[in-house]
Amino acid sequence: MNTPSGEKSFPRTLHRVLTRALIVAGILFLATTGHAQIGPGSGGTNNYTPLDSWTFNDHVNWTSDNGYYPVSFTNLNFAQLGNGQSLEVGTNSPTWLQYNVYENDGTTNLTVNQGTVMFWFAPNWSSTNLGGAGPGEWGRLFETGAYTTNSSYGWWSVYVDAGGNNLYFSAQTNDLSSSITTYFSCPILWTTNYFHFLTVTYSPTNTSFYMDGVLATNGAPLTVYPGLNALTNGFYVGSDNTGIVQANGLFNSVATYNVPMDAGTVQQIFNSEYTAYVISPWNQSMSIISSAKTSPSYYTPTFDVITGVGNLQWVGNASLHNYGANANQVWITNTVATAGTNGSMNVTFTIEGGQDGYYYDIFATAALRSPITNAVWAWLGQGQHFNIYTVNISSGSAFLILGTPRDTDLDGLTDAYELLVSHTDPNTDESDAYGVPYSWYAEFGLSPQSALQDPDQDGLLNYQEYLFGTRPVVSEGFGVWTMGGYSSIP
């Protein structure tokens, strides 16, 4: 394995995706909403009690859910993403969040010889294997001790490589052997702002890594870990002990256990929590602004898989008719917001510019980020130029962006949709390892990383739904496949 490095360099700035496909014209209205937390450890085949958990509701003092204060912290941020508020670790300055392994009252918050660590994580970067830049360094997700070149101190870490293509679980003791024991490594393909549920279990007989509730890999038995000298300096979420080598991403619902959790319980916790984290129409906290339903488009020219009027309501024809120099020069004008019901608002606007016969995507977000592609955007529908539309937005805040019909890779998704919503490469018609086009996932509001998920709970994983021509969000039952005397699923 390559030795983790980068401890002497500051984190790279967040990967900036080109936004040349977007025509931006909007208005911002400020408000906030909350979302109830679902604590780690709920449900499961066994009754596991966490040593402690951190849902980061307290973004002032960063206390744990059991009320314990951190040892120290600096340069932390929080985001209204995920299940409520998430810890954000990723700056160009030293940033860390340090907690005690052992509290003064005798409480233990982490065991390194056997146990479980689980948390939700969304990177502020994309894997280089997906055309991104990765974290730019060996990003620490969860760590105690400190990596040294001569194994002089003790180290225990869950981390990703600089390209964001692999996740590792490694350790050192203080035996001066200059070696690293890596219990497992697992390939990952992560995109910006997509949360993943990560679970590491470890014991003297086995180590395992679960991603999004599913066993991703098993590793070697745990034999090497830090001693008391390193553990008394606590553990870190999202960085190393210098605060320089950072994960560059969002954390939520961190929990530690003193026993390895069984696979069934990991899956059940994921099933109970994932609707609050997946960027899709189910995501209650991220979709403060609701995504629109899609419908077939029968108009030409059109390139979109994501098509139809969606949530837009036609008001009338605009009095001004200002054509753009081409179909991609288009803008929003005459934006007016009025109060709706139950804290919502009605936003009325006009599409100007562009050319006849084209349909333009409308996107909205409740919270801007820099760059704008790092915000969580909802697709509201499509409209034509010289028309006035109204859309009801459930949030008290919104920033609207108009997308052009440009589809560089001709995959059926506009460049704007790929940059803002699906977070896929607008220059390449992409498919996953199972041959499923990313555009197919987008059509059903699914993450491109959801091949092994079963959102409709009908026994078919998403990639199987694609292969069999069924719908991944509608349970169509086992009986569909009963034929020719055989009752098993192909």
Q: What is the DSSP letter of 486?
A: B
pLDDT tens string 53-102: 999 989 899 999 999 999 999 999 988 777 778 999 999 999 999 999 99
Look at residues 224, 241, 276 and tell me which one is the last residue of a structural domain: 276
Global confidence as pTM:
0.57
Q: Is residue 19 part of a domain?
A: no
pLDDT tens string 201-254: 999 999 999 998 999 999 999 999 999 999 999 999 999 999 999 999 999 999
Distance CA 289, CA 363 (A): 10
Domain range for 179 is 36-276
Q: Is residue 88 part of a domain?
A: yes
Distance CA 241, CA 237 (A): 10
**Does residue 38 or residue 481 have the better pLDDT?**
481
- Decide if pLDDT at 152 tops 70: yes
Q: Is residue 391 part of a domain?
A: no
**Does residue 446 or residue 249 have the better pLDDT?**
249
143-157, 384-398, 431-445, range with greatest mean pLDDT: 143-157
Cα–Cα nearest to 171, from 216, 202, 139: 202
> ∠ CA(377), CA(119), CA(92), 5° rounding?
65
Average pLDDT, the chain: 81
pLDDT given at position 301: 44
CB 134 within 8 A of CB 77: no
CA-to-CA dists, residue 137 to 194, 241, 347, 354, angstroms:
19, 15, 43, 43
Q: Is residue 449 part of a domain?
A: no
Q: Is residue 204 part of a domain?
A: yes
Look at residues 216, 241, 276 and tell me which one is the last residue of a structural domain: 276
- Decide if pLDDT at 283 tops 60: no
Q: Is residue 63 part of a domain?
A: yes
What is the secondary structure of 341-357 as a DSSP string? STT-EEEEEEEEES-TT
Number of independent structural domains in the chain: 2
What is the secondary structure of 52-84 as a DSSP string? EEE----TTT---TT-PPPSEEES-EEES-SSS
Banded pLDDT at 32 (limits 50, 70, 90): very low
CB 39 within 8 A of CB 55: yes
Indicate which CATH number applies to the domain containing 204. 2.60.120.200
- Decide if pLDDT at 26 tops 60: no
- Decide if pLDDT at 490 tops 70: no
Cα–Cα nearest to 42, from 76, 83, 9: 83
Average pLDDT over residues 43-50: 69
pLDDT given at position 192: 80
pLDDT given at position 445: 75
414: left (phi over 0), alpha (psi -120 to 50) or beta: beta
Distance CA 136, CA 13 (A): 9
Q: Please tell me the least confidently modeled range out of 126-135, 194-203, 251-260.
A: 126-135
SS3 182: strand
Q: Is residue 106 part of a domain?
A: yes
Banded pLDDT at 349 (limits 50, 70, 90): very high
Average pLDDT over residues 29-37: 27
pLDDT tens string 358-371: 999 999 887 777 67
Q: Please tell me the least confidently modeled range out of 99-103, 207-211, 378-382, 388-392.
A: 378-382
Distance CA 218, CA 235 (A): 24
Q: Is residue 21 part of a domain?
A: no
Look at residues 221, 255, 276 and tell me which one is the last residue of a structural domain: 276
Average pLDDT over residues 155-161: 98
- Decide if pLDDT at 460 tops 70: yes
pLDDT given at position 289: 62
Banded pLDDT at 448 (limits 50, 70, 90): confident
